[in-house]
Every structure is written in C-alpha cells, then in structure tokens.
Chain A
C-alpha cells in the first residue's frame, strides 16, 4: 500500500533530477530574496551558478541550531508572518528557545510525509490511533495527529500522562495503533500489568509508532513479543518540521522521502561528505519549505545512508536507526536537553557555586535526571526548611527552562569533581 505511489516509487534517476531542480530553485530563490541566506552563501563564497549538479550541495554552507538561536524569533523566516499558520517551540542550547514556523503548505508537506509513513506501516482508515506524544509546543502530538487524520484513522489526542486513563481508553475505544516514545509504551505496559490488564489479550493494539528518543532492536523485540504488536521507528526533528519519517513494514531503515528532503552524511570532524554505509552526522536540506527553509542543517544525529533498494518497492533513500549524537544532547522522556541549558539555568541562581553534575537513570522504563549542585558557602542554613526551599527553587528553575522534572541534590562546596580540560559532567546510566 502506498499513499503517493508516484513520489514514493519514482525511479532513482528521475528522483535525483527532481531533487536537483528543487535544490537549484531553492538556492536561486533564497539568494535573490533573503538577506540571511544570501549573506551566508556570500560568506561561503558560493553563488547559485555554482550549483550545477546534485553533489554541488556540498558547496553550500551548513546551518546549525545556533543559526536559529541567533535569529530568534523570526529573523530567518522567508515568509511574511501573515502567511505563517503555526509556531512550534523547542528548547535551545542555552537560554533562548528555538522557534520554528510553518506556512499552510509547510503543514501540508509535513502531513503528507506522515501520511506516506503511516500508510507504509499499514495504518489507515480502519485504525483507531492514540497519539500519546505531547501536544502543544512540542511537534510530536500535532504532527502525528494531522498525519493520522489524513490517512483517515480515528485519532485520540490523548497526549502524555494519565496512563491509567489512557489504558482505559485503549480498551474502550478499540485502539489499534499508538504513537508515543518507546519508554512511555514500556511504562504503559508496566502500569497495565499492575491494573491487571493484559495488552496482548485485553486490547486490540496492533501497531506502535515509536520515536523522539533513542531505542534499540532489543527493546523492539521485547515489546513486540510482550505486547503482541509490531513496533516501528519514527524520526524527525522540529527544525525540519517534526517527526516525518518511519520504517516501512520491512523494518529496515527509515524512508526519507527524496522529493522533500536531500540527505547527506558527513564526517563530524572533517565535515566531508561520507558515502553510503559510512556512519556520520546526518545533514538535511528541506527542498520545499516556505516559512523557514533549512539548507544543510546539521542535526547532529549519527547514522548512515543505506544504498540497497528496499523490499517494499519504495525508491527513497533510507537511513539506519539513529545510533547516537555527535554533540552532548540528552533525550529525557522524549525531551531534548542540552547540558549547556542546565549550566545556563544554574548560573543565574546566586546561591549556586560553579560545579554541577548531571546523571540520568531509567527506572521502570522512565527516565530520571538528577542534578547535583554545589552551593556557595553562604547559601547554607542551619534550618532544614531554608535548605528545602532552596532545593525546590533550583528544581523549579530547571523545570521552567528544561520542561522536565529534575531531582536536585544540594552539595557542599568542594564536594564535586573538578576537571582539568574538558569537563565530564554527564553520567548516563540508561541501558537501551
């Protein structure tokens, strides 16, 4: 089953030609009409005429998350705000958040991408789909919602949390598919067990679309056999729209629709392009985006491009499951957290000294982040109440900026390790 057979199965030569035409058009357009992109290209000494083949994309300058931060909120937009129909916001690496904007066509592109993806794993109008990603500023909830509605599924916008109620809805409404983080599905399974519910027998759940955080084939095998479902990986990031791409029923790599996206893999150190099968940093160019075009955006996820044709007949390039990051970003319960954000938040608090340590654990399938904070000597009180208030204050500040709950441990001055050279402040004890 295909959603858009013409695009999904386009012969490779024809697809590359389409990609080239779209890239050329995009570059011309941005160079002519947008000062941000023109300046960037000028600084890299490239002109639209230098792009005469698809591989010339490597002449274009990279974009980074810092471009979005430096141009917050809308300086990078290429569409007037009256044409922007939605914003999503994610956390930046320090203080300022990252804003992404969508025109009507951008939402359409995103929805089309997910309609193709959901169809490729067999989700359609017969399905009842529970979307248990966060709705709101995070792209997961609304993205999947629009995609699932597009293929005609009955959508339950259940969002995150309230697990017992979600399980009741799953049974009462005959849910056949769910979209959520892999750890949330494992958590649901744990809660179901405690409630005496057997997901395999007591629900009609058949498929799960899992993403927004790293997971493994071990976790897939475990969930599939325990819950009696098929579990598929989904991938995307807000800068390119949101979650956009999934595996097909072959479960062998994520299909990246070539008519929408130009995919490159680069060596994170030399920044040179790498060939198929070679692992490196994923770089994406969104070929048709209006509000906020992304050219050679360094997502910083590590993967490789798969060369061989997929058994499903789709010709779009595939990438392997993400194996890690080339930076220090953590993903906690599906939320991206940069240690630099933690540092930035802590350093605004006058009672906090210079040292901190971050640790992450997975307990009963859920992620927990603990931040140990060294206090300044005069921040101490003989009254437990004062110390508790300070602890609560620090944890509230972190929650405000990171959007996740953080356990704070107060530490006396001098008790945390000092680093010469590059500090190692993060201990991730999770086993995927």
Chain B
C-alpha cells in the first residue's frame, strides 16, 4: 500500500564551480528529462540538486549512462490547497503524526499544489499519514 505512495526523487551532487549547474541542466535536457519540481540545497563548497521528474527510472538510467552520479530516494508528497494557510494544514498533519521532516520543497501548478518531503523512514510515515486520514499523493498523481 505504501509503495505506490512513494515518489522517486533524483538527486545530483554539484561541486561549487561556476557553470556546474548549467552542465547538469544540459545533461537533463539531452536526456529529455522533464522536471515537475526541483530544489538546490547549498553548503560550503558544494550543493545537492534534487528533482521530481517524469519517468524517473528512464532518467536515472540515461543520466547514469552519461557518467552523472544520480541518487534515487523515496520522498512523500502531500497535496496542498493553493490558499493562505495551505502549508499550515499539511505541516500540522505531519506534526500530529509525529513525523520528523529532513527537508522539503513545494511546487504548484494551476491544478495542483504539493509539498514534497524526505523523512527517515518513508514507509512508516506514509502508513501513519494514511491512518490519520491524510491524503498522500501516489507516484502517478504528480
């Protein structure tokens, strides 16, 4: 049950040099990868580029074939309502389910806004959320 709620996130390590993001972006383009959402976490000397993409399995394979190291991680997506207080509803639900967020980011389109987040044990978290009646998006819904 939890498995279909897992969203595959791809992450790529970027060392801190002008033009590195452009190189990664060029590779994404060449592999015809369409991104739904992405974020960049920065630290001293490097960054981590994380993205939710269409066809993550194909993207992973093609990027790997290009020599780019891509790591796949399961994240969880919860739909948000695109209005003031939308994040509060989601954050409160996650907090009440006693789930610790490691990092998160959001995207919104005309039709859908969603909060993507990474937790230590995604399986357990999804079960808790579903048990508390929270809607968790499935892979094919984002």
Contact = CB atoms under 8 A, between A and B. Distances in A.
B48 A415 contact: no
A414 interface: yes
Interface in B9-46: 9, 11, 13-16, 41-46
A414 B69 CA distance: 9
A406 interface: no
Given A382-B48, A384-B48, A388-B43, A411 B15 contact: yes
Interface string A405-420: 0000111111100000
B69 A377 contact: yes
B118 interface: yes
Contacts of A391: 45-46
Contact of A383 (B44, B45, B102): B102
Contacts of A384: 41-43, 48, 103
Contacts of A388: 43-44
A62 B103 CA distance: 61
Given A382-B9, A382-B118, A387 B46 contact: yes
A41 to B, nearest CB: 53
A67 to B, nearest CB: 40
B90 to A, nearest CB: 21
Contacts of B42: 384
B45 A409 contact: yes
Given A391-B45, A410-B45, A410-B46, A380 B15 contact: no
Chain B interface mostly helix, strand, loop or mixed? Answer: strand
Interface residues of A, number: 17
Given A382-B118, A383-B102, A383-B103, A415 B15 contact: yes
B108 interface: no
B50 interface: yes
B13 A412 contact: yes
A412 B69 contact: yes
B126 to A, nearest CB: 18
Nearest to A413: B69
Contacts of B45: 391, 409-410
Nearest to A410: B46
Contact of B15 (A377, A381, A383, A409): A409
Interface residues of B, number: 22
Nearest to B16: A409
Interface in A171-214: none
Nearest to A386: B48
Nearest to B72: A382
B67 interface: yes
Contact of A387 (B9, B13, B68, B69): B13
A367 to B, nearest CB: 19
A237 to B, nearest CB: 35
Interface string A393-432: 0000000000000000111111100000000000000000
A380 to B, nearest CB: 5
A377 to B, nearest CB: 5
A391 B103 CA distance: 20
A273 B24 CA distance: 56
A381 B13 CA distance: 8
A383 B50 CA distance: 10
Nearest to B11: A382
Contact of B71 (A382, A410, A415): A382
B73 interface: yes
B52 to A, nearest CB: 12
19 contacts: A375-B13, A380-B69, A380-B71, A381-B48, A382-B9, A384-B42, A387-B48, A391-B45, A409-B16, A409-B45, A409-B46, A410-B13, A410-B15, A410-B45, A412-B13, A412-B68, A412-B69, A414-B67, A415-B15
Given A384-B41, A391-B45, A414-B67, 10 more contacts: A375-B13, A382-B118, A383-B118, A384-B42, A387-B13, A409-B15, A410-B15, A410-B45, A413-B69, A415-B15
Q: Which 3 A-B pairs have the closest CB atoms?
A: A382-B11, A377-B69, A382-B73
